[in-house]
Structure 1
Amino acid sequence: MSAGDIDYGFTGYEPDLGGMTQAEVMGRGRIHQLIDDETVALMEGRVRKAGVLERLQAWRDEDAVAFSIGGRPSLISERAMITGMLLLAKEGSAMFMTNLRDIFMFRLSDASRALLNLEAPHSAFVGHIGEKARWYSNTTRAFQRMNDLMDPFPQERHRGKTYAEIQEILRTHDIQLEESRKQRLDEFSKLMLVMTFNEQSRPIRRASKKIDLSFDQTFVGTPTTKGYSRKNLARRVAEEAKVQEKKTLKPGPVDAFAGWHVSSGPRTDAAKGQVDLTTPDRKASTDEYRWGWEINIAVRVDSEEPGKHRFPALAVAATMSLPNVRVAEEAVSLMRSAKTLGLEPGVADADKQYFANSLPERLHHDAREEGFEASTDYRIDRLGPQGGDHGALYIEGGTYCPGTPESLQYATKELHGGLIDTETYRERIKSRKAFQLHVKEKADAKGRVVLRCPALGPSPTVTCPLRELLKTVTDKTRPGVESDDLPDFADKICSQHSVSFDTAKNIRQAQAFEYGTKEWDEFHTHARNSIESLNEQIKSGGTEDIESATRRRVRGFGAAQIIVTILLTNFNLRKIAAFISDKIKEEAKRQSNGEPVVRTVRRRDREFYNPYTDTYPPGVARPDKAKPPTTDETGGPPLRT
């Protein structure tokens, strides 16, 4: 019998192991370390706290057919699966089904098996290969049963497809099923991340009564990297049809539902019903496009005391989506998920891909409806005056007097153009504040706010020739509207005591903090640094390594989001532990009144004489020692002993 024909399940065969042990052979070179019962119980308890098990059962009941003949009970439950995945994430192991199988087979004590309701595997060396195959199949099926409840894009993924097959998969895709399963996936992610948030102590959770967010997308690769573009899919199908011998066709993509992530260059944001036509440019570098998905993550930030580290920067909401598709809507989903933490909505910060680029009906209106105020940078073409109403000017989120000096109106453009420095810019922004219209009545339920001229009211901030007769306060010097800056036609804001403005007309520019001020800059910088830091920590090279698919080989959109959710859960738990550890260090320093910590001297150095080095403990005087004689009593050299 050749080595390739050896059957370890045949009891008559006794392999020669040489210097290898049976445990090493069964572990294929690894020695499986037992996971302590306390850690298993901790992870299992967190799974139950999250509430995902009840939701999985509800979804299973929802999908169940009216009549079923039943079957054998599952060997591995969802509770055991999610617990095992959390254990893998905690120790930094790859999310392979083989690693999960090894946990169930070799790394749990009898008590932990009983906790997870797992049967004991056959531990005999003879026949272990068949036993491992059985447990691997059961582990894989258990994961897929869970995945099938939430996968928005079910398809066969065992082999590469022809472009004609890809086209047929897209044609028969169930949009309604996609939407319902996508909601389930996002709820799974939400429940797991909310659980981690609640693992913090109440003082940390409530360090701020508001939940401020900073969100962004980051790339998640697919296990198979060959992609396609819907822009040229029809052409490729036509080219395939001309091939006579179909067996000669090269294998095509596996995942029909993924897309091209644009690493550099312009990005699109396809709305519902639109098709993403992004395709790699052959003239450009191949590194500019990668085939996969996007993970949308919101991190908790602090708008009240930015950068003070009052709480850990946790991923408080996450969803997954196709690249270049419904970017704005995914941001709204993040805000809705974050509201379930039980805190008041605060400020939502993002880069130019979001508030600065999206249509108000896709992002801004929903964000305001959810209670969040925007914070963002502006596109260069939206700096300076952007129209207005009733004679007033809309400038970078604020509503200003039509007589505002042009040097103040275009201050930001001049900064970007290099005409003024930052110090001059800040002074102009500060001066421009005086020309902003005053709020007389806050916005009502329909979004209408009553504003008045800054030269009117009990606390006017400017003087104006058109309002001289109404001036009642002369207690201090104020900036004035020059005659040359007065509008040719005095509209309502210049002729009435107050005017009602529709906030929806300026919602695209509105911000939580006045743009360009030190307050805006501090928060926006803190928020962007927080999300970029989180992305860097969880991407390639880190403990979670969500970007690379080399540590998660299960194919498909649903499987990827489930695994990434588990990794984000572990990331949050690590961040909480590190935050508490840092606080303990700070408290220890405070209690020592800021004095430097004295390094402890080892006991052997404190108390013992070292004959090898002939040294004594610090502070111990060296005793005088008599010099050895140079000769013996006979006058000869000393004896050797």
Structure 2
Amino acid sequence: MASLLERLTADEAAARQQLADLREQVAALEERLSELSIARKVIEPLLVEESAAQDANESRADQNRRPDPPQSAAHRGRASSDRRDLAGTDEQVVAAMTSAGRPMRAKEVAQALGEPQARGRVEATRARLKKLVTAGWLTQAEPGLFAIAAGWHYSGGDGPPTFGYSATLATAARTRATRGHFPQLALGLVIDTPHKRIGANAITTLQGFLPLGLPVGILAVDRAYTDQAADHFARPARALGFKLALDYKQDQRGVQGSVHGALLIDGNLACPLMPERLAQATTDLDDQTIRTPPEQLTQLIAAREPYWLKLKQGADAHGRIRLQCPAAGTSPSVTCPRFNRLHRAPAAPPTAVDLTNSRQRAAHGAAKPTVILPAGEPLRPPRSKGDPAHICAQTTITLHPDDLGAKDKFRQDPHYLTPAWQDTYKPIRANTECINGRLKGHHIDLGDPKNRLAHGRVAQILLAALMVATANELILLAWRQAHDHHEPPPEDTYAFDAQEPDREPPAASGRPPPGA
């Protein structure tokens, strides 16, 4: 027992000695921390003065040229100021942060520039970063974390990249089937870094329409949006009530995927037995062929029509839609032996057809294409549930928003390259480019940095919004001069056709301008 007490006493003494040593170390560290704090207060102002003197020397070496801030640009993907506007180390800082593609701290930037990791150099880099924030090149989302405010824009052509902001515009447009007249204006604007948050920025502009009670319809966008993840653009746009009209890159055309046994072909679901030459009609076609389809391609696109799945029920509150097999229903568009076998469809009774009536001829089963079964599929196998594909076994399918996964970004409403798609997509895109041209025209010239001399993203957003509003005023003025009058045209020169409300009067109608 005495031996045990001696051991406990020795352990207690050792613990007390260790505690005393630790207290001495803590006291020494606290004294060191106090000294460092005092040194920081003395050195920081000196570093700022050193950085300012260095900047002044670089500025004089560069002929006293101050860097212009990056400026916003008209339409998505346009930029305004180039790399030569930055001088010396400032240019290296922006280039390093642009290459990193993420927010960085001063120590990381100094390391990327090859600076020594001494505290003095890191603090000098921090002072430079704050200067670039003031100039509008960088942003500081949180203390100590810096991000690129603008960025390099790479256009579709072969020209050099430009540095600046990018603007996402939402415009009001009309398709060729739209009845009536209305001014086609720029309705939404978001300024951001080029090639960043493309889909999210588009959704932001569309969400601004909801409080205004503006109608929703077809949303036609360029191919940059087709590349966005479905959760970033396509699904939120549909949730807002918009239908989509899309175009694709060369390697995205043709058969894009499948779901529930149906094929996803150029953004629409089709019968799994659509002939291969029709399903692959657009595969690997270049953009020039798509812009001006030859007669052969036009015929193949038209021949696809009977094989598309039919919309049986529109989207519900959860975005689910019902689609029907083209061989099902009271007015099937194809004759399918597989459908007749699986569903034991009764043979249609003989009916008399008036061969002079084009609608009766087209409605007869003999006038509809017959689906060709695969060579290995027997004509009369035993029927079983789920054989051979869900769409064939059930006649209708429910398509959930996530059934296609990543491929859901390709889904659109009009059938690709059909007259309905051409009459929708092309006029809307043409109007968007027209707005873009107006903003870059000599009256507004949003692309000229001299018209936007204020520094910083906030100032650039305000200036860009004012310039877009001015462009809208000019559009409204031109529209009113063309449409806002009530004097009827002389009956002997022009009369509106009740069947053609969109028809414009001829140039010689002699209508006076407003107030004439």
TM norm. shorter chain > 0.5: yes
- 2:272 corresponds in structure 1 to 402
Amino acid corresponding to residue 583 of structure 1 in structure 2: H
Q: Name the SS for the 1:318 alignment partner.
A: strand
User: Quick check: 1:522 aligned with 2:423?
Assistant: yes
Amino acid corresponding to residue 256 of structure 1 in structure 2: L
- 1:508 corresponds in structure 2 to 409
CA distance in 2, matches of 1:451, 1:309: 32
In the superposition, relative to structure 1, how do residues 326 and 522 fare at CA in structure 2: closer, same or farther (>3 Å)?
A: same
In the superposition, relative to structure 1, how do residues 571 and 450 fare at CA in structure 2: closer, same or farther (>3 Å)?
A: closer
User: What pairs up with 1:197-596 in 2 under 5 angstroms?
Assistant: 216-221=76-81, 225-226=85-86, 227=91, 228-229=94-95, 230=97, 231=99, 233-235=109-111, 237-239=113-115, 254=135, 255-257=137-139, 258-264=149-155, 288-303=160-175, 305=177, 310-354=181-225, 356-413=226-283, 415-416=285-286, 422-468=294-340, 469-473=344-348, 475-477=364-366, 478-484=368-374, 490-506=388-404, 507-539=408-440, 541-583=441-483, 593-594=493-494, 596=508
- Is 1:218–1:535's contact at 8 Å kept on the other side of the alignment? no
CA distance in 2, matches of 1:349, 1:487: 41
Aligned length: 366
Q: Name the SS for the 2:269 alignment partner.
A: strand
- Is 1:299–1:314's contact at 8 Å kept on the other side of the alignment? yes
1:530 shift after superposition: 1.1
1:447 shift after superposition: 3.0
CA distance in 2, matches of 1:389, 1:487: 21
- Alignment TM-score, normalising by the size of structure 1: 0.51
Deviation string 1:86-139 (CA, Å, 9 cap, x unpaired) is xxxxxxxxxxxxxxxxxxxxxxxxxxxxxxxxxxxxxxxxxxxxxxxxxxxxxx
Amino acid corresponding to residue 471 of structure 2 in structure 1: F
User: What pairs up with 1:619-638 in 2 under 5 angstroms?
Assistant: none
Deviation string 1:584-641 (CA, Å, 9 cap, x unpaired) is 5896755672495799xxxxxxxxxxxxxxxxxxxxxxxxxxxxxxxxxxxxxxxxxx
CA distance in 2, matches of 1:315, 1:381: 32
- Is 2:184–2:431's contact at 8 Å kept on the other side of the alignment? yes
In the superposition, relative to structure 1, how do residues 367 and 297 fare at CA in structure 2: closer, same or farther (>3 Å)?
A: same
Cα RMSD of the aligned pairs, angstroms, is: 3.8
1:161 shift after superposition: 9.7
1:315 shift after superposition: 0.8
CA distance in 2, matches of 1:217, 1:550: 19
1:461 shift after superposition: 0.9
CA distance in 1, matches of 2:156, 2:337: 50
CA distance in 2, matches of 1:161, 1:556: 23
CA distance in 1, matches of 2:492, 2:266: 49
Deviation string 1:227-260 (CA, Å, 9 cap, x unpaired) is 523126445543487999x9xx999953224333
Deviation string 1:191-242 (CA, Å, 9 cap, x unpaired) is xxxxxxxxxxxxxxxxxxxxxxxx7443354999325231264455434879
In the superposition, relative to structure 1, how do residues 479 and 574 fare at CA in structure 2: closer, same or farther (>3 Å)?
A: same
In the superposition, relative to structure 1, how do residues 470 and 346 fare at CA in structure 2: closer, same or farther (>3 Å)?
A: same
- Is 1:455–1:461's contact at 8 Å kept on the other side of the alignment? yes
Amino acid corresponding to residue 151 of structure 2 in structure 1: W
Q: Name the SS for the 1:500 alignment partner.
A: strand
Amino acid corresponding to residue 470 of structure 1 in structure 2: A
Q: Name the SS for the 2:461 alignment partner.
A: helix
In the superposition, relative to structure 1, how do residues 586 and 542 fare at CA in structure 2: closer, same or farther (>3 Å)?
A: farther
1:523 shift after superposition: 1.9
Deviation string 1:304-359 (CA, Å, 9 cap, x unpaired) is 636x88222211111211222211110001111133332222121111111x1000
- Is 2:335–2:371's contact at 8 Å kept on the other side of the alignment? yes
Q: Name the SS for the 2:151 alignment partner.
A: strand
- Is 2:306–2:333's contact at 8 Å kept on the other side of the alignment? yes
- Is 2:335–2:365's contact at 8 Å kept on the other side of the alignment? no
CA distance in 1, matches of 2:54, 2:446: 26
Identity of aligned residues (%): 24
Q: Which runs of 5+ in 1 are unaligned?
A: 1-158, 163-214, 267-284, 600-641
CA distance in 2, matches of 1:556, 1:487: 67
CA distance in 2, matches of 1:160, 1:359: 48
Q: Name the SS for the 2:168 alignment partner.
A: strand
- Is 1:222–1:293's contact at 8 Å kept on the other side of the alignment? no
Q: Which runs of 5+ in 2 are unaligned?
A: 1-51, 56-74, 101-108, 140-148, 350-363, 379-386, 495-505, 512-516
Amino acid corresponding to residue 549 of structure 1 in structure 2: P
- Is 2:256–2:265's contact at 8 Å kept on the other side of the alignment? yes
In the superposition, relative to structure 1, how do residues 561 and 221 fare at CA in structure 2: closer, same or farther (>3 Å)?
A: farther
CA distance in 2, matches of 1:250, 1:447: 50
CA distance in 1, matches of 2:412, 2:210: 20
- Is 1:452–1:498's contact at 8 Å kept on the other side of the alignment? yes
- 2:381 corresponds in structure 1 to none
Amino acid corresponding to residue 238 of structure 1 in structure 2: G
- Is 2:216–2:242's contact at 8 Å kept on the other side of the alignment? yes
- Is 2:191–2:461's contact at 8 Å kept on the other side of the alignment? yes
Amino acid corresponding to residue 405 of structure 1 in structure 2: P
Q: Name the SS for the 2:311 alignment partner.
A: strand
